[in-house]
Structure 1
Amino acid sequence: MQKIGTGLVAGFIATVVLSVMMIAKNMMGIMPELDVIGMLSTMMGSSAMTAWLGHFMIGTLAWGGGFALLYGLIPGGSALAKGIAFGIAAWLGMMVTVMPMAGAGLFGMGFGIMAPMMTLVLHVIFGSVLGAVFHMLAAPSGDDMVFTSDHLAN
């Protein structure tokens, strides 16, 4: 059960990092048509605040908890590699389900080729943070080997 709690904390922190990057992207005017919170708000038929809450629930509960539960099954020799693989899987799921449901087409191609590329980069960063934080919180004291084979599968 402690591993799930660790995953939830790691998922929350990774979602904070992802959210900051999404806000920065919007503030810089990069691909304004790719507004994930706007898309979620429209899909949910609710306010942007509710969409942000949904975004954090997905990142914390689904992705953070899912990462903890599936950790031993995820390919990769380190927590970082597992986090990146998990982030890519989450991206793929978003590209084939959420994007089409939001009217952006498969892989978000309704927004052009930059949409899947940008969201892939964001999900790789999300996964990197998820894996690194999970390792730091779950590793025995003094074990800071995030980049090498680890023993967190149990």
Structure 2
Amino acid sequence: MTQQRLKAGFGYGVVATIAMSILMLLALVSGMSPMPQPIPKVVVAHLVGSGAPKPILMALAVGLHLGYGGLFGAILARIARPVTLRKGISLGVGLWVIMQVTFLPFLDWGLFGTAITPQIAVATLVLHLVYGGVLGWSMDRDMPSTSGESPTTAD
């Protein structure tokens, strides 16, 4: 049962990552995003070099972003029973904090993106709340809880 739960968590993590990515891309395309480029793409370009062909950079960025989201979905599924909306949002906020203090400084964007604009912190928080909300709302929604609590309302 644990392996099946990990696979489900990974799948729901990927779905949640797709939801946040769609919102991120819509904001970028509409000009509403304070980010100059998608963060996963910038991270990959820093790791492999910005001279790599754009299709390769994008494929790596998408793959790593989906894998990262799926991995943390699986981790949440492993440690939380049931996965609830509150637990999903807590994970999203935790991942947001990690991003703010590790990835953004790595990109020379500063803590919380302040080297570019403080609006990056708010925009990425919204994206991570979407990730956590989708994951927490969907993961155990159709599974009966052993405690009798609804996954969308339980702590």
Q: What TM-score do the two structures reach when normalised by structure 1?
A: 0.83
Is 1:64 aligned to residue 73 of structure 2? Answer: yes
Residue 22 of structure 1 aligns to which amino acid in structure 2? M
- Aligned 1:1-154 pairs, distance under 5 A: 1=2, 2-30=4-32, 31-45=34-48, 47-61=57-71, 63-71=72-80, 79-137=84-142, 139-140=143-144, 145-149=150-154
In 1: Cα distance, 2:59 partner to 2:83 partner: 36
- Unaligned 5+ segments in structure 2 are none
RMSD: 2.2
CA contact (8 A) 2:85 2:136 kept: yes
| Residue 58 (structure 1) shift | 0.6
Residue 131 of structure 2 aligns to which amino acid in structure 1? F
| Residue 78 (structure 1) shift | 6.9
Matched residues, number? 143
| Residue 81 (structure 1) shift | 0.5
Moved more, 2-11 or 124-133: 2-11
- C-alpha change, 1:7 and 1:78, in structure 2 (3 Å) is closer
Q: What TM-score do the two structures reach when normalised by structure 2?
A: 0.82
In 1: Cα distance, 2:134 partner to 2:104 partner: 23
| Residue 130 (structure 1) shift | 0.6
- C-alpha change, 1:78 and 1:13, in structure 2 (3 Å) is closer
CA contact (8 A) 1:44 1:51 kept: no
- Unaligned 5+ segments in structure 1 are none
Identity %: 29
